Amino acid sequence: MKSEKRAKPKIGVFKFASCDGCQLTLLDAEEDLLAVAQAVEIAYFPEASRRMRKGPFDIALVEGSITTHHDAQRIHQIRRASKLLVTIGACATSGGIQALRNWQDAGEMARVVYARPSYISTLKLSTPIAEHVEVDYELRGCPIQKGQLLELLSALLAGRKPNVPTYSVCVECKRRGSVCVMVAQGIPCLGPVTQAGCGAICPAYNRGCYGCFGPMESPNTTALSDHFRILGQTPTQIQHAWRGMNAWAWEFRKASEEVKVP
Amino acid sequence: MKTRRVIHVPVLARVEGEGGLYIRVQGGRVMDVKLNIYEPPRFFEAFLRGRSWQEAPDIVARICGICPIAYQMSCVQAMEQIFGLTVDPMVRLLRRLIYCGEWIESHTLHVGMLHAPDFLGYDDSLAMAKDHPQFVQDVLALKKTGNDLMGLLGGREIHPVSLCVGGFYRAPTRRQLQAMVGPLERARDLALRLLRRVAAFDFPDFNLDYEFVALSHPSEYAITEGRIVSNRGLNIPVTAYEDHFIEQHVAHSNALHSIRRQGGSYLVGPLARFNLNFAQLGEELSKLAQECGVSPPCRNPFRSIIVRMLETLFACEEALRLIACYEPPERPCVDVTPRAGIGTACTEAPRGLIYHRYQVDENGNILAAKIVPPTSQNQKQIEEDLRRVVDGMIDKSEAEITWRSEQAVRNYDPCISCATHFLKLHLERS
Ligand code: SF4
Ligand code: SF4
């Protein structure tokens, strides 16, 4: 009995700067949640349980980006205590929406005075987990997609490679049978350069993709910026399109900095 | 007898976000209570500056994955006020409908997975599932219906993509909504069963004289709009919010405390709404509430779990009513011509009143933003509750005090991720 319990892989869920949406995805897996809970030991998940076990962990699911000195140290402890470390969601994989502050003008920040500046301590940049420790797998999205999370967990439990495609949202749009919003209506859409996974939700809801799954493998961002210009977007609009939930992801960041804003 | 004790819970469990608890007792009296919030600030209002009105709803959603609709809805309504827009009545209906989905999802998560384990003596709902499988299955099924409703209207349940200034990017057909009727009817039955279950929990005898603050609307149980009222005579339009409430920045917290301008804490959330808008729940639900041991004024925050489930049941019924009235709008979204101005909006997030203010330039680009989430407003009240709770059980064991204190915090379903992102608001120019 006891040894059987031991054999269950131990999972920890850890949070850094984030909105909690990605870990909520785990609780939102209503139909599968109890099955997951049977297959693994959820040893550390403060948002769901009062019982907090110490490591080591077989799998650490890490949500959120690094924005404080304390967190920059904490992620190393988690890495040391975990066999596999998986980052979940745009905050963890790219620095998240809060990475927008990475472009804030330091001079302006300095001129502005907090009511109680000494009470807060943060780093200048919001950075992805992979800039601090080695990451074994990542799940994209803001938030991550439930099906991808379950696929990843079952693959890791079975010891196989997770099937997480790296092609673009366009492929999913075609599969879903959506009419291309960019071709048909001239709506700017990041679908051609954004990694699949969501199932192409936005075009199905009559709007352009805003890139919440981050850059696909080798995206042609320059061509898309050019196309947005042809569609009548201003340089600021184009720059802002790249600076969303994955602004600090290298390909999007580069694309945003290439835009000449007068 | 030990005269000096410190109770320290470094990581508060089963709350959304990262917080801790610190209580110092000396000579049989509570000397200090602190709800530490160390969730790192994310500075939303700093990077909202310069962004366009069109992008704002998707950006502010990311403040909280548990109540994104509350953020999006407050944002689009504040922008619509600036641009002088009136939305189609059916758009208004759809907004109330998706908000019902968020109430069902968020309330059920809290009642079943975060709060109930306190009352039944478990570490978490998964451990509870062994002894109370029906309860946990009901919770999961009910929560799923809330999520499905949000998914249908919003594209997905966390950070929906369909809401925009002026309406929706796409409105559903009648048939699409009809598909939710069966599940919502089942959800209503589940909510009723769960309501009776939680009403039978043991509640400590604990009552405080709160100032309850909530939106109130002449013709409906307020969710998306109304005036701000309290049981102490406050009755103001949303535009006057900042004349009556201010925020304080305290050392132990990365969140701002919000208090009444005359000083003093107040309470927002299900208990406030229930006490202030009770009659609008309708006759049947009012009767049911009394049967379940809550009637206004309910001043026992531990009983908020009952009120939360009652509101969930209300949201299921309201969703069914709204679906029956629905006709697709001629156009899902009105045309927007931006203009400069300041706009404010309040809605009732699952955890209580949320306030947004935006100032934009003539192109609709944001110059300033201020967002006050429910948890910042409740934080001071939570600390006052804790002081009283611990005072009343000072001779009990540390484990008991800790357990009860955590439960008292969870009475508020505090969303710490929400509460932390507003530090930049507190700037003063030197
Ligand atoms: S990636 Fe998006 S959904 Fe996930 S935690 Fe970050 S902000 Fe929330
Ligand atoms: S279409 Fe793009 S923005 Fe929309 S959900 Fe998918 S990846 Fe995210």
What is the DSSP secondary-structure string of A189-227? --GGGBBS-S-SHHHHTTS----TT-B-SS--HHHHHHH
Q: Read off the amino acid at residue B412.
A: Y
In the block, tokens 């809801």 appear at A205
Q: How far is CA B193 from CA B132, B186, B220, B251, B292, in A?
A: 13, 11, 25, 44, 12
**DSSP E strand boundaries for B27-157:** 29-37
Quote the pLDDT of residue B404. 87
| Spatial CB neighbours of A35, under 8 Å, sequence gap ≥ 6 | none
Average pLDDT over residues B123-137: 90
Q: Which residues pair with A163 in a beta bridge?
A: none
Average pLDDT over residues B386-409: 85
Residue B425 has pLDDT above 60, yes or no: no
In the block, tokens 């980052």 appear at A87
8 Å CB contact between A88 and A62: yes
Q: Which residues pair with B428 in a beta bridge?
A: A113
Ligand 2 contact via A216 beta carbon (within 6 Å)? no
Complex ipTM tops 0.90: yes
| Closest ligand to the CA of A26 | 1
8 Å CB contact between B167 and B334: yes
Q: Reduced to 3 states, what is the DSSP secondary structure of residue B5?
A: strand
Write out residues in chain A with pLDDT < 70, as ranges: 1-6, 105-121
CA of B58 to the centre of ligand 2 (A): 11
Quote the pLDDT of residue A6. 52
| Spatial CB neighbours of B129, under 8 Å, sequence gap ≥ 6 | A34, A37, B136, B137
Ligand 2 contact via A39 beta carbon (within 6 Å)? no
| Closest ligand to the CA of A205 | 2
Average pLDDT over residues B43-59: 93
Considering only CB atoms, B43 lies closest to which of A15, A101, A198, namely: A101
B249/A115 Cβ within 8 A: yes
Average pLDDT over residues B293-322: 97
Instruction: Report the distance separating Cα B12 and Cα A98, nearest Å.
Output: 24
Quote the pLDDT of residue A119. 47
Domain with CATH 3.40.50.700 in chain A: 10-158
Quote the pLDDT of residue B13. 64
**What are the sequence ranges of the domains in chain B?**
44-377
Burial label for B21, CB within 10 Å (0-12, 13-18, 19+), is buried
Q: Reduced to 3 states, what is the DSSP secondary structure of residue B362?
A: coil
- Categorize the per-residue pLDDT at B349 as very low, low, confident or very high, splitting at 50, 70 and 90: very high
List chain B residues with CB under 8 Å of A212: 159
CA of A142 to the centre of ligand 1 (A): 5
Question: Which residue's alpha carbon is at the smallest distance from atom 3 of ligand 1?
Answer: A143
In the block, tokens 């000449």 appear at A260
Ligand 2 contact via A200 beta carbon (within 6 Å)? yes
Instruction: Report the distance separating Cα A123 and Cα B305, nearest Å.
Output: 39
In the block, tokens 């959800």 appear at B187
- Categorize the per-residue pLDDT at B16 as very low, low, confident or very high, splitting at 50, 70 and 90: low
Who has greater pLDDT, B197 or B383?
A: B197
Q: Which residues pair with B20 in a beta bridge?
A: B36
Quote the pLDDT of residue B252. 60
Burial label for A34, CB within 10 Å (0-12, 13-18, 19+), is middle
- Categorize the per-residue pLDDT at B158 as very low, low, confident or very high, splitting at 50, 70 and 90: very high
CA of B282 to the centre of ligand 1 (A): 38
**Phi and psi, residue B339, nearest 5°:** -150, 165
- Enter the DSSP assignment of B298: P
Q: Which helix (H) or strand (E) holds A17?
A: none
Q: Which helix (H) or strand (E) holds B308?
A: helix B304-325
Instruction: Report the distance separating Cα A95 and Cα A91, nearest Å.
Output: 4
Quote the pLDDT of residue B20. 76
| Closest ligand to the CA of A91 | 1
Q: Read off the amino acid at residue A211.
A: G
Best residue in A13, A20, A112 to probe B by mutation, most B CBs within 10 Å? A20
CA of B206 to the centre of ligand 2 (A): 47
Residue B398 has pLDDT above 60, yes or no: yes
Tokens of A191: 């679908």
Q: Which residues pair with B92 in a beta bridge?
A: none
Does any CB of chain A come closer than 8 Å to the CB of residue B397? no
Going by DSSP bridges, is the β-strand pair A41-44/A10-15 parallel, antiparallel, or unpaired? parallel
Q: Reduced to 3 states, what is the DSSP secondary structure of residue B34?
A: strand
Does any CB of chain A come closer than 8 Å to the CB of residue B14? yes
* pTM recorded for the entire structure: 0.93
For the structural domain made of B44-377, what CATH number should be given?
A: 1.10.645.10
Residue B423 has pLDDT above 50, yes or no: no
Average pLDDT over residues B111-116: 92
Q: Read off the amino acid at residue B49.
A: R
- Using omega within 30 degrees of 0 as the cis cutoff, is the peptide bond preceding B237 cis? no
8 Å CB contact between A145 and A164: no
Tokens of A231: 């569609």
**DSSP E strand boundaries for chain A:** 10-15, 41-44, 57-63, 82-88, 112-113, 137-139
Half-sphere exposure of B303 (CA within 13 A, CB side): 23
Instruction: Report the distance separating Cα A17 and Cα B42, nearest Å.
Output: 7
| Spatial CB neighbours of B59, under 8 Å, sequence gap ≥ 6 | A97, A244, B44, B47, B48, B51
- Categorize the per-residue pLDDT at B87 as very low, low, confident or very high, splitting at 50, 70 and 90: very high
Quote the pLDDT of residue B429. 21
Instruction: Report the distance separating Cα B429 and Cα B242, nearest Å.
Output: 19
Quote the pLDDT of residue A190. 98
Residue B390 has pLDDT above 90, yes or no: no
Residues in chain A: 262
- Enter the DSSP assignment of B172: P
User: Minimal Cα–Cα distance from A220 to chain B, Å?
Assistant: 23
Quote the pLDDT of residue A176. 96
Question: B81-101 burial, b if ≥16 CB within 10 A, otherwise e?
Answer: bbbebebbebbebbbbbbbbb
User: Minimal Cα–Cα distance from B281 to chain A, Å?
Assistant: 28
- Enter the DSSP assignment of A199: -
At the topology level of CATH, where does A10-158 sit?
Rossmann fold (3.40.50)
Q: Which residues pair with B35 in a beta bridge?
A: B21
- Using omega within 30 degrees of 0 as the cis cutoff, is the peptide bond preceding A56 cis? yes
Q: Read off the amino acid at residue A141.
A: G
